[in-house]
A and B are shown apart, each in its own frame.
Chain A
Amino acid sequence: MSELRENPVNEYLRLDRLPSIWCPGCGIGTTVNCFTRALTESKLDLDKVAIVSGIGCTGRVAGYMNLDSFHTTHGRAIPFATGLKLANPDLKVVVYSGDGDLSAIGGNHLVHAARRNADLLVVCVNNFTYGMTGGQVTPTTPISAVASTTPYGAYEETFNLPNLMDACGAVYVARWTAFHVRQIAKSMGEGLKKKGFRFIEIIAPCPTLYLRRNKLGDGLDEMKYYKEKSVVKNGADTREVGLDYHDKIVVGKFVDRERPTLEEAMDKRFTDVLGAKYVPYTSPGKQPLA
């Protein structure tokens, strides 16, 4: 008889908070599974990994992770995480949120954090809709897709998030779908290793709202669509990777480059100008245990 083995994911989760709020067929949990695998591979000290979420379905990820975890306000995970990282440079800080949270209400912070190369790994689960509030249109909802606030189909041009992040200076940009579990884990692992602003977009199904309202079937149907219509193009020109409604999805690692992080740029500037008068910021250190 084989011994009953513990699920390897368990140590990464707050098991006392399960089951999660996510619907059957939702892609968010899949990405979390990939994230735990990336954490295992990374061999990082998990006490030094912090996760920050905004609001929404993906915004709940932080609360399920057995890490220092922060569930902040709508759209503001990135500036919270920037403050956390600047104040405690020993931490590896991951922002995990959805397309609406990061690119609509949080859009200003997203572009500026990429521009200043804040040392954050940002995971954006893009399900093309606001799930938590009942399936409204987001900046990524493809033209013609139905959402509760575009009952006759969306008509606004969408954000091509990889291109936006590329243009803003992100040092690492990748996109996968929830079908590409190994690639997601690999990208997340690369993202965890790298410094600077890293952005991973994961296209994921929202069966309850987006798929149902658009008569696209269930989570499994969406996986088949991802499998059939995804095209891997590592290094693709991000201008060419925009998404149309239920059409092909270009996936891959699009950007991987080096640029001084916010902290490095700050340090260099002050060292150059102030010389010996510069007193670098030091981590507050481990708190004294009595």
Chain B
Amino acid sequence: MNADPIGVLTGSHYLDGDHSCSEGAIAAGCRFSAGYPITPSTEVVERLASRFPRVGGRFQQFEDELAASIAVLGAVWGGAKAVTVTSGPGFSLMMEHIGLAAITECPVVYINVQRGGPSTGLPTQPAQGDMMQARFGSHGDYRLIALCPNSPQECFDLTLRAFNLAEEYRVPVVVMLDEVVGHMTEKVVIPPADQIEVTPRRYTSKKPGDFKLFEAAEGSLVPEMVKAGDGYRVHVTGLTHDERGYPAMNVVAQDKMVKRQFAKIVENADKIITFEEKNLLGAEAVVVSFGITSRIAEKGMQLAREKGAKVGSFRLITAWPFPEKQIIELSKKVKAFVVPELNMGQMSLEVERLAAGRCRTIPVLHAGGTVHNPEVIAEAILEAVR
């Protein structure tokens, strides 16, 4: 279906990444947000607090991130599309509810504008140190989707897509910005509402009594949804549960629940994963990058090409699930991957694992606080093609 025109600010705008996320959420049909202030993410909810009363939405600031991150789940079960937004320390506090969203298969969006860590770290400066936390941060085994925009335009596009993916797979989706992408201001083009594709909630057409909240729909691995108040009298629990949603604390139920929740992401990975490839033909080295680092890597590649390096680019747009097939294929063709990231080695571990010794992986690591010096990336590329 198309976006509700009431919320869509069609036109060209000069927006920062944080504000662009807000517009992406509104265009996606999000009408509930809960938040707690934290730099450098607060602008997202500030804009929602201002915009929502004019478009029929509700924003509630809560007493902490624990509350905000579960209030959105309550809102989803109430029938709204919902988002919460945070950064480092808040993201840590939200982990329990990302797990609850995963086990209850709650379609919800979390936005994390990454800053330097650990702990309070560098509140106003960028990092990409939460990538593995986005994947594994809540306890237990689950799979979710994480997207990493590298521009304000992509903040709009990917926040919108995050909502669509959440509904498609009944899964929490995390949008992983970094401080620079969140605060950089660029042109953002918002299309007309009738050109914005929005995935509605997959409400069941079954009648109460025939419907099981955690039974995969026919021909799918994803169960259909209901909301509170419609007579289904559902039970939703963070305990391991059977298809009815009833607690079932035994090995068989655990196996069935966890494996289907894995499979709905793993087996649909090709449909979920997006990436951007450039100059791969004849490349001897490939820079694998994401978020703000991909913008810096462009300059690094240009400098290396001026010195004769044949280098291509593979930009992660979906961080999780990881584009495993693509990296494996590339690893058969190139001498090395160069992986710049604003952390001490997270996505580079994935690349190295998938390259499996077929080619070198050269991480270009940075503890965060600013972006890379492009010359350092260029040097790594030159070393890679030597």
A residues adjacent to B (C-beta < 8 A):
14, 16-17, 46-48, 50, 52, 62-63, 66-73, 75-76, 78-88, 90-91, 108-109, 112, 262, 266, 270, 274, 277-290
Contact = CB atoms under 8 A, between A and B. Distances in A.
A50 B67 contact: no
B53 interface: yes
Interface in B66-94: 66-68, 70-80, 82
A195 to B, nearest CB: 17
A278 B53 contact: yes
Interface residues of B, number: 52
Given A76-B70, A82-B62, 6 more contacts: A73-B97, A76-B67, A82-B74, A86-B75, A112-B63, A287-B227
Given A48-B229, A86-B75, A284-B78, A79 B96 contact: no
Contacts of A109: 63, 66-67
A71 B230 contact: no
Contacts of B31: 87, 281
A266 B238 contact: no
Given A73-B96, A112-B62, A266-B58, A67 B233 contact: yes
4 smallest beta-carbon distances between A and B, as pairs: A83-B74, A290-B205, A284-B79, A87-B78
Given A73-B96, A82-B71, A84-B74, A108 B239 contact: no
B221 interface: no
A284 B80 contact: yes
A79 B237 contact: no
Nearest to A46: B233
B338 to A, nearest CB: 41
B56 A108 contact: no
B6 A279 contact: yes
A71 B82 CA distance: 19
A80 B70 contact: yes
B137 interface: no
Contact of B56 (A66, A68, A282, A286): A282
29 contacts: A16-B246, A46-B233, A47-B233, A62-B235, A63-B237, A66-B233, A70-B77, A70-B236, A71-B235, A71-B239, A72-B73, A73-B96, A73-B238, A78-B67, A79-B66, A79-B70, A80-B73, A80-B74, A83-B75, A84-B75, A91-B229, A109-B67, A112-B63, A279-B53, A279-B56, A284-B78, A284-B80, A287-B79, A287-B226
B82 to A, nearest CB: 7
The CB with the most chain A CB atoms within 10 A, among B64, B229, B231, B247, is that of B229
Given A71-B238, A87-B32, A288 B203 contact: yes
Contacts of B34: 79, 83
Contact of B228 (A84, A270, A281): A84
A51 B205 CA distance: 24
B84 to A, nearest CB: 10
A266 B61 CA distance: 12
Contacts of A68: 77, 228-229, 232-234
A85 B78 contact: yes
Contacts of A288: 203
Contacts of B233: 46-47, 66-69
Contact of B100 (A73, A281, A286): A73
A69 B64 CA distance: 24
A73 B55 CA distance: 31
A266 B49 CA distance: 12
A287 B230 contact: yes
Contacts of A66: 233
Given A63-B247, A82-B71, A281-B31, A87 B79 contact: yes
A86 B100 contact: no
